[in-house]
Amino acid sequence: MQGNVEKWRKRVAVWDKGEVPIEYVAAGDKKDQAMVFVHSLLANWKQFIPQLEHFSKDHYVLSISLRGHGGSGRPAHESPETYSLEKFSSDVLSICDHLGLERFHYVGNSAGGLTGYEFLSRYPERLKTLTTFGSPGDVDFPLWLTRGYGRFMSLVVRVLGQQFYGKVASRAAVCTGDAYQFLIDEVVWEVNWQVVRHVFNSIGKISFVNLLETSTVPILVIHAEKDYGFQRLLRTTYEAEKKNPHLTIKQLANAGHLANLDQPEALNRIIEKFLKEDK
């Protein structure tokens, strides 16, 4: 996995005509169907290198770094409002318009998946399908918890250092050695923890349950077996699946929150089958 980083790093570009500069990597033939990949909180475009490698053979692929992540820009005024799902989805729309992607398959993990739900709610005509993993359809954390966790995280980073907390977060996010080492080598050192705090505060109370129950755009939710922190949060998604024939949930064994890094080939197969069925 890590051996491919330099190959893809050479393709990095920046779209700087939107609200903030957005870093992205694109490859493939635009005559093919397009796939847009959006990473988890803390990560960046590099999270989806295994999927870029696989799907660029017969798709036009795009992986972006959300605002405040990787090499993307940060707004002049930083707050939970300027790192909201609405802002993230607007950035996705901006870069896709720039690249001429009218309709596409969207794949998102965690905050990237929540951004996908927001995008679907605002621009359903732009999506062929939506795939998420580690992205609950309903979150209802009390304000004291989100703010308290944000302060605690900032304190730990200040006292023990970014690298230490990055290692702790990486251990919680993945369950295989290769995936953990990739995060340490390529992702953790780029994390801005103040941005993470703002994003965490912005997504403490959200609900896409009605969207999951009623959307006619095909949705695939991949439930990673070892994504322990999100097991309970997927309850409403399972309930929505019973009501919506366009919503499908698939299990993925031996994978944590960043499931595409733990089990890239298995996740690719699940998505590939889903896309073929959609045809």
Average pLDDT, the chain: 92
- The arithmetic mean of pLDDT across residues 92-104, rounded, is 96
**CB count in 10 Å sphere of residue 190:** 16
Mean pLDDT of 118-129: 98
pLDDT in tens, 58-71: 999 999 999 999 99
Q: Kindly list the structural domains of the chain, giving each domain's residue range(s) and its CATH number in brackets, ordered by start.
A: 2-278 (3.40.50.1820)
The share of the chain scoring above pLDDT 70, in percent, equals: 97
pLDDT digits over 147-194, tens only? 777 677 777 777 777 777 788 889 999 999 999 999 999 998 888 888
- Assess contact for 141 and 205: CB atoms under 8 A: yes
Residue 2's pLDDT band (cuts 50, 70, 90): very low
- Can you tell me the distance from the alpha carbon of 107 to that of 85, in angstroms, rounded to the nearest whole number? 15
Q: How many CA atoms lie within 13 A of 248 on its CB side?
A: 17
pTM over 0.85: yes
Looking at residue 230, what is its pLDDT? Answer: 81
Q: How far apart are alpha carbons 264 and 254 in whole angstroms?
A: 11
Measured in whole angstroms, how far is the alpha carbon of residue 9 from the centre of its chain?
A: 19
| Kind and range of the H or E run holding 114 | helix 111-122
Q: Is the pLDDT of residue 91 over 70?
A: yes
The pLDDT assigned to 279 comes to 62
Percent of the chain that is helix, strand, coil (3-state, to 5): 50, 20, 30
Q: Which amino acid is at 56?
A: S
Q: β-pairing, 138-140 with 205-207? A: antiparallel
Instruction: Look up residue 79 and give its amino acid.
Output: S
Confidence tier at 239 by pLDDT (50, 70, 90): very high
CB neighbours (10 Å) of residue 213? 18
At residue 164, φ and ψ (nearest 5 deg) are -65, -50
